[in-house]
Amino acid sequence: MTTLTDPPLESFRLSMLFNDTRYRSFTFQAIALVLLVFAIGYLTSNLLANLRAQGLQLGFNFLSEPAGYDINQRLIDYTSQSSHARAAIVGVLNTLLVAALACLMATVFGVAAGVLRLSKNWLISKLMAFYVEIFRNIPVLIWIIIIFTIMTAVMPGPRSYLGEDPESNLLLGLFAFTNRGIYGPAPIWGAGSGVVIAVFVASIIGIFAYRRYAKHVLYSSGQMLPTGWPTLALLILPTVLAFFMMGQPIGLDLPDPLANRFNLRGGTQIGAPLIALWFALSIYTGAFIAENVRAGIQAVSKGQTEAASALGLRPNRTMNLVVLPQALRVIIPPLISQYLNITKNSSLAIVVGYADITATLGGITLNQTGRAIECVLLLMLFYLTISLSISAVMNVYNNSVALKER
Amino acid sequence: MCVWFGAEDLRTYQEEVNMNKSVFFGALTVAGLAVGAAAAGTLDDVKARGKLNCGVTTGLIGFAAPDANGEWKGFDVAVCRAVAAAALGDPAAVEFVPTTGKTRFTALASGEIDMLARNTTWTFSRDVDLKFTFVGVNYYDGQGFMVPRELGVSSAKELDGATVCIQTGTTTELNLADFFRSNNIEYEPVPIETNAEAQQQYLAGACDVYTTDASGLAATRAAFEDPSAHIVLPEIVSKEPLGPLVRHGDDEWGDVVRWTLNALITAEELGVTSTNVGEMSASAGDNPEINRLLGTEGTLGEMLGLDAGWASAAITAGGNYGEIFERNIGESTPIGLSRGLNAQWTDGGLIYSPPFR
């Protein structure tokens, strides 16, 4: 027979910090932490001492001074007399724009290529494998340069569209494709255009409401309502009706070949740097996403597909309703890091002259003011904030598709 | 088992601690070296190293570019070589550090290079705010515009609406903004990182105009397949005095670079050339200023902390200012720049050295 007795209560001795496995790990962690703090502290004080020795000081006052340079693509009002801070904001918006566009397009490319790579058609699956391997294994900087160089070399200059009797005519009288970018029509908002927009927004809400209703009917009565053509009708018809009833309030501002001797004037322009960067980032990252998607789909057990077929679901419904929802659980986490990669890789923009945050704040502003440390700190802060925000948002989405354990 | 795991744990922690230690001491050493470098005089550092670290462009024909044998040649390179010859007695003892418009100031401020000779414009803020000392001007330049001849543009004021390629990180983009604003015309800037890329964009027609310093335009155009298809517009929209620079606060070193440049200029004024400098510095001649310059009279070299023959070594390295100009960017070269403002003051130019006495 054994008796259970409490071990004798030892009083804590200092030597136990090293000899007792219960405390030892904490001891070493504490020592490491102290050393780390000292190292960072020393490097910081060294930096400050060296700056002082050179008579320089850290400060962010330069941000309120006039920037003095122009930026070709700006989403907000900006002139060369605006402050460096505003130039930085223009850069931030440009970074966010290209990152958002590239994330969307990379997802489209990636999902398409990932699904097609599993196709039973030999040619298609091999083509997709080729795409993935080519684009994944060549650095994105090289892709950006290749795409931009091809664009500028192959497309005609804007001058070929200019004049009374141009070499090339606008496509449909609306679009011009040049090596400086794509020119297209811009809307002119007349009186009453607000009503048209309101109707358009309302019809989008209507589409969602209808789809919800169709789902409700399906789950409650098993009757399947059509969703394809009603969606299309709801999207187009009310808006077109409103447009004509209000007396065509929205006009088009077309690119004008006669206004200027160098460039097309008027309309909207999407610059060649943006297009090259957007396309290069999407097609490069799309190759990685394709592999994630493929892995995700293959991670869903084959039994699921077979069970769905046994229930009589057609192959595309099996994919959409059974396989993809389960595959998403595997796809989303690596997808987050691909989105972060796109955002960070967008800092290569300067090679094609796209004015992102690295080009404005980290490039021209840094140069003109010589405030290298301050500018780089701000850049780090910006990319860190953006990356963490993207992670946070994507994690919320991931939690919504993750396996619910009850 | 328990004991074994404990030992394993301990070992891992020790490794971690050791690693942190080595990182810490490594950082300490690097930081210590950096402080040391800043404290001692640059001239002593250069002498101890036996080599001059000179910042130049990443490649601008005529000013600084490696030739077919990989040897750096050019107008700015010649200044580096002259300083190396004066300080070390050997014009080949130069480590050329290629810098971009962006990296040049950081490279100089951090001590990676001892001097910067990279057609850099002397401005108030660079001198005062960035804490550099411009030792003089070796080329008086101004910003110009180059356009394809077929455009039929004859003045920069006709450039309303044009797309303009600019090399970023220069004073150029600020002058450009000012010029177009003051003339109340519009333009679209395309910032490009290096001269080579800007050139490619310009030739592909992605921009109508290329703008940089007029000397740079001439050098760029000289490299084109058909230079005559492009014209440089008559407007010079800014003052760009280009010169070598050093860090603030080391006046001894600043003096060495400043007076080496002045020696090259004075040599041209006094007729001392690379061919006759050997003969002239062998013994004292009739002209006392030449004697002082070449060290056959007085102790100017000693005052600088250099040999008596410092200036004669600098002149021997690549010739006097005029010879350097003619050989690298002058009218006989493909770049074909005339002396213009860069003639000696005695010929109506601005090149003027204080006296050697």
**Nearest residue in A to B173, CA atom:** A69
Q: Are residues B128 and B165 in the same domain?
A: no
| Residue A208 pLDDT exceeds 70 | yes
| Residue A2 pLDDT exceeds 80 | no
C-alpha distances in angstroms, A93 versus A119, A360, B92, B300?
Answer: 39, 11, 49, 59
Q: Report the pLDDT value the prediction gives residue B33, as an integer from 0 to 100.
A: 43
The CATH number linked to B321 is: 3.40.190.10
Q: Which has more pLDDT, A53 or B47?
A: B47
Tell whether B82 is covered by a domain: yes
Q: Report the pLDDT value the prediction gives residue B27, as an integer from 0 to 100.
A: 43
Tell whether B11 is covered by a domain: no
A359: nearest CB among B13, B131, B191 = B191
User: With an 8 Å Cβ cutoff, are B168 and A28 in contact?
Assistant: no
Quick count: other Cβ atoms within 10 Å of Cβ A85? Answer: 17
Q: Are residues B246 and B337 in the same domain?
A: yes
Dihedral sign for Cα atoms in the order B72, B246, A351, A292: positive
Letter for the amino acid at A332? Answer: I
The DSSP element (H or E) to which B132 belongs, if any, is strand B132-134
Which of B220, B238, B256 is the C-terminal boundary of a domain?
B238
Cβ atoms of B193 and B202 closer than 8 Å: no
Q: CA A162 to CA A262: how far, in whole Å?
A: 8
Confidence of residue A1 (pLDDT cuts 50, 70, 90): low
Block residue for tokens 């059974």: A322
Residue B8 touches partner A, C-beta closer than 8 Å: no
Tell whether B34 is covered by a domain: no
Q: CA B60 to CA B67: how far, in whole Å?
A: 11
Domain count of the fold of chain B: 2
C-alpha distances in angstroms, A96 versus A227, A270, A354, A383, B296?
Answer: 34, 15, 12, 10, 67
Residues of chain A with CATH 1.10.3720.10: 84-135+270-401
DSSP helix, strand, coil percent of chain A (3-state; round to 5): 65, 5, 25
Block residue for tokens 């003027």: B352
Q: CA A169 to CA A346: how far, in whole Å?
A: 34
Q: CA B267 to CA B276: how far, in whole Å?
A: 11
Which of B193, B213, B238 is the C-terminal boundary of a domain?
B238
Q: CA A324 to CA A13: how far, in whole Å?
A: 59
User: With an 8 Å Cβ cutoff, are B189 and A55 in contact?
Assistant: no
> B181 contacts in A (CB within 8 Å)?
79-81
Q: CA A113 to CA A38: how far, in whole Å?
A: 50
Q: Are residues B279 and B158 in the same domain?
A: no
For the residues A7-33, what does the mean pLDDT come to? 82
Which of B238, B264, B299 is the C-terminal boundary of a domain?
B238
> B155 contacts in A (CB within 8 Å)?
none
Cβ atoms of A391 and A317 closer than 8 Å: no
Tell whether B2 is covered by a domain: no
Q: Are residues B134 and B272 in the same domain?
A: yes
Residue A20 touches partner B, C-beta closer than 8 Å: no
Q: Where are the alpha helices (DSSP H) in A69-121?
A: 84-117
Q: Which two tokens stand for residue A139?
A: 């650095």
| 3-state class (DSSP) for residue B246 | strand
Return averaged pLDDT per consecutive 10 residues of chain B, 357 residues in all. Answer: 41 43 43 45 93 91 90 94 94 92 85 92 88 93 91 88 83 88 89 81 88 87 88 88 92 95 95 92 89 91 92 93 94 87 92 92
B102: nearest CB among A80, A152, A363 = A363
Q: Report the pLDDT value the prediction gives residue A125, as an integer from 0 to 100.
A: 92
Q: CA B188 to CA B32: how far, in whole Å?
A: 48
> A36 contacts in B (CB within 8 Å)?
20
Q: Which has more pLDDT, B328 or A55?
A: B328
Quick count: other Cβ atoms within 10 Å of Cβ B322? Answer: 22
β partners of residue B231: B147
Mind giving me the DSSP string for A210-252? HHHHHHHHHHHH-PPPP-HHHHHHHHHHHHHHHHHHTT--EEE
Block residue for tokens 């004697």: B291
Segment A97-155, tens digit of pLDDT: 999 999 999 999 999 999 899 888 999 999 999 999 999 999 999 999 899 889 888 88
Which residues neighbour B55 within 8 Å (Cβ) at sequence distance 6 or greater? B97, B98, B99, B104, B107, B108, B112, B113, B115, B116, B117, B118
CATH number for the domain running over A84-135+270-401: 1.10.3720.10
Segment A218-272, tens digit of pLDDT: 888 888 777 788 888 888 888 888 888 777 777 777 777 777 778 877 778 888 8
Phi, psi of B164 (to 5 degrees): -120, 125
Tell me the residues of chain B between 126 and 165 that have a Cβ less than 8 Å away from chain A: 126, 129-131, 151, 159-163
Segment A233-248, tens digit of pLDDT: 888 888 888 888 777 7
* A12: DSSP letter: P
Q: Are residues B222 and B86 in the same domain?
A: no
Q: CA B32 to CA B24: how far, in whole Å?
A: 12
Q: Are residues B181 and B324 in the same domain?
A: no
From B224's Cα to the closest Cα of chain A, the distance in A is: 17
C-alpha distances in angstroms, A109 versus A104, A285, A295, B190?
Answer: 9, 9, 16, 29
Q: Are residues B306 and B250 in the same domain?
A: yes
Segment A313-340, tens digit of pLDDT: 888 888 888 988 889 888 988 998 899 9
> A367 contacts in B (CB within 8 Å)?
101-102, 105, 168-170
Residue B190 touches partner A, C-beta closer than 8 Å: yes
Domain containing B74 equals 43-140+242-347
Q: CA A5 to CA A54: how far, in whole Å?
A: 70
User: With an 8 Å Cβ cutoff, are A364 and B169 in contact?
Assistant: yes
> B200 contacts in A (CB within 8 Å)?
149
C-alpha distances in angstroms, A70 versus A142, B178, B190?
Answer: 27, 10, 9
A364: nearest CB among B173, B187, B248 = B173
C-alpha distances in angstroms, B204 versus A179, A184, A277, B144?
Answer: 9, 22, 18, 20
Q: Report the pLDDT value the prediction gives residue B350, as an integer from 0 to 100.
A: 93
Q: Are residues B112 and B261 in the same domain?
A: yes
Instruction: State the complex-level ipTM.
Output: 0.73
Q: Are residues B265 and B315 in the same domain?
A: yes
Q: Are residues B173 and B218 in the same domain?
A: yes
User: With an 8 Å Cβ cutoff, are A21 and B9 in contact?
Assistant: yes
Tell whether B21 is covered by a domain: no
Q: Report the pLDDT value the prediction gives residue B2, as an integer from 0 to 100.
A: 39
> A267 contacts in B (CB within 8 Å)?
none
Q: Which has more pLDDT, A134 or A183?
A: A134
Measured distance between the N- and C-terminal CA atoms of chain A, rounded to whole angstroms: 44
Residue A272 touches partner B, C-beta closer than 8 Å: yes
Residue A351 touches partner B, C-beta closer than 8 Å: yes
Q: Mutation test of the interface with chain A: which of B130, B132, B251, choosing the one with the most A Cβ atoms within 10 A?
A: B130
pTM, whole model, 2 decimals? Answer: 0.76
β partners of residue B245: B116, B134
> B38 contacts in A (CB within 8 Å)?
50, 53-54
Tell me the residues of chain A between 111 and 170 that have a Cβ less than 8 Å away from chain B: 149, 152-153, 157, 159
Q: Are residues B266 and B201 in the same domain?
A: no
Q: Which two tokens stand for residue B172?
A: 């150029």
Q: Are residues B216 and B301 in the same domain?
A: no
B176-212: string of b/e by CB count within 10 Å (b at 16+)? bbebbbeeeeebbbbbbbbbebbbbbbbbbbbbbbbb
Where do the DSSP E strands lie in A29-79?
none
Q: Report the pLDDT value the prediction gives residue B218, as an integer from 0 to 100.
A: 87
